[in-house]
Chains A and B, each alone.
Chain A
Amino acid sequence: MSKDIKVSTSHKGDIAVISIQGDVTAVTGEVIGNAYGSNDILNSPKILLQFDKDCYINSGGLASLIDIASEGRKKQQKIHAYGLSDHFQKIFHMVGLTRCIPIFTSEEAAMKDF
């Protein structure tokens, strides 16, 4: 695993959770992609991306998240996100990523809206 990112997966009921800490970049995006590509996550209809509030995301990282959103759409998965800092919530809105990965202010809100 890349030293700049920590990614773990879990399940909460029928929701697959991908927890992300650290730098989301073109380099580390592969780690998130691998987590998403694991059988138990890839076949889940509901996926929650749980970002640490200190996550750093650059344009290469956005590309990796768009890849996941694109794959999720093909599989008719619903993907939600929460935990992003105010700044990266703004960036998600600016690049249009919220159209495919809606962001929520809390885990409870993100899970309730699936």
Chain B
Amino acid sequence: MEQLLELHLPNILGAEKEAIKKAVIIAEKLGFARDRIEDLKTALAEACINAIEHGNKFDQNKKVRVTLAANNKSLEVIVHDEGEGIDPKKIPTKRVRDDGFPCRRGYGVFLMSNLMNEFYFEKNPGKGNNVKMLMHLNG
């Protein structure tokens, strides 16, 4: 993988838009289709929002690091926070209430894992956490 971008975002909601802008430029250069770029934008936004909110817990002394790398098969996105991390098993997976109505929250991981081809958590105690996602060029 060749690293194409490293960004250090302030830990403020809305900062993810800077990463999205730059990721779109890279994805366009790599030849991703428009609909896949839209998927990437949403997945990257959700990863950054989770890092700001759940990873760094809105601590403005912390940063979110976004790195993009690619080879001829895939684009790799890593979103790193400086927090303690959360147990992936504790992430809510229920998205529909008993009455059939959609649940209010818990869509970030659902969207990332469904819009990207691969999705992983990497928890590094004392060193923060990574969300790693891959989008394949061939779909």
Q: Would B49 and A66 count as touching, CB distance under 8 A?
A: no
A-B contact count (CB 8 A): 59
B: residues with CB less than 8 A from A are: 13-14, 35, 38-39, 42, 45-46, 49, 95-96, 100-105, 107-108, 110-111, 114
From A27, A58, A85, give the contact of B45 (CB < 8 A).
A58
Q: Would A26 and B13 count as touching, CB distance under 8 A?
A: yes
13 further contact pairs, Cβ within 8 A, besides A58-B49, A59-B111, A60-B13 = A27-B13, A27-B14, A56-B45, A66-B102, A66-B103, A70-B104, A86-B38, A91-B111, A94-B110, A99-B100, A99-B101, A99-B102, A100-B101
Return chain A residues, CB-CB under 8 Å to B111. 59, 91, 94-95
A: residues with CB less than 8 A from B are: 4, 25-27, 56, 58-60, 62-63, 66-67, 69-70, 73, 85-87, 91, 94-97, 99-100
On whether A63 and B105 interact (CB within 8 A), knowing A87-B35, A95-B110, the answer reads yes
Q: Quick one: closest A residue to B37, CB to CB? A: A87
From B38, B39, B46, B96, give the contact of A59 (CB < 8 A).
B46
